[in-house]
Amino acid sequence: MTDQPHSRRAFLRSLARFAAAGALALGAGALMAKRTGETCVSDGICTRCDTLPACKLPQALSARDALNRGNHGGR
């Protein structure tokens, strides 16, 4: 450690760095938890899956959107 006292500006800069690092770590953890929370049970064939109405996976969302567009004449 140095014998010089830290300035207020240096303290606030360090505080901001630690806050940003913490936010980044929490965000990455949340993304990892979200991705590992649900797995596909039908090998990616959404139209034959019984859990399609409640599934949150991206391919299921896309399949539901495509099915809805087909039922409403493409609108």
| In a shared domain, residues 30 and 55 | no
Q: How many residues comprise the chain?
A: 75
In a domain, 20, yes or no: yes
What are the pLDDT digits (tens) for 4-23?
A: 677 999 999 999 999 999 99
Say which residue, 12 or 30, is predicted with more confidence.
12
> 23-46: buried (b, 16+ CB within 10 Å) or exposed (e) per residue?
eeeeeeeeeeeeeeeeeeeeeeeb
First to last CA, the chain: 67
In a domain, 1, yes or no: no
| In a shared domain, residues 43 and 23 | no
Write down the pTM of the prediction.
Answer: 0.43
Say which residue, 42 or 23, is predicted with more confidence.
23
| In a shared domain, residues 15 and 46 | no
- The total of structural domains in the chain comes to 2
| In a shared domain, residues 44 and 73 | yes
Say which residue, 64 or 70, is predicted with more confidence.
64
In a domain, 24, yes or no: yes
Domain that includes residue 13, residue range: 9-38
Residue closest to 60 by CA, chosen among 71, 69, 51: 51
